[in-house]
Amino acid sequence: MSFDSDQYTHIMERLKEAELGDLASQLDQEVRQGRAVPEEKLKQEQQSQYEARASRLAETKLQRLGESDVAVIPYTGDESIELIRGALLTLAETMYASRKAALDTAVAHEMHPTIEFGDPDLETPSYIDLEEETVQARVALELVRELLSEGIDTQAEAIR
């Protein structure tokens, strides 16, 4: 898969439209911050960036790079898209797994699968139906897997 900046922008816009603006902001911040890479790995895999960094340090008369130092390098376009894809898949898997675990616990303890929040004497309580929530999360997980299936190696089959 090759990176297309329009693709990145489109994904971020879709997240915001789906009321996932906080998630979009977090992912965008992560992409802008770049990733930490040990100098030794930078030297091996990103020779040009390593040399440019070493040159800038030499020009400013700073200490040479050591093998235990860490550099922050920008994500490549493909890495940015994979970061987003991985985060969305993890979010969907976690949503489903947490709801399924709560439902399984309620069933195992012979509890009603509807949870009530609030004090009925003071307010109208809110309800969450764990069965309904689990089904919706399962559908969302399957949809995310389907949408992101190209190029993703999922280990989540065990969740089913």
Domains of the chain, by residue range, sit at 75-159
pLDDT per residue over 14-48, tens digit each?
888 878 888 889 988 998 888 887 777 766 666 66
What average pLDDT does the segment 134-154 reach? 78
Q: How confident is the model at residue 131 (pLDDT cuts 50, 70, 90)?
A: very high
Give φ, ψ of 113 to 5 degrees.
-80, 5
Indicate the SS3 state at residue 15.
Answer: helix
Nearest to 100, CA basis, from 146, 155, 139, 126: 139
CA–CA gap between residue 22 and residue 27 (Å, rounded) = 9
- Give me the pLDDT at residue 152, please: 42
Find out whether 30 and 79 touch, Cβ atoms under 8 Å.
no
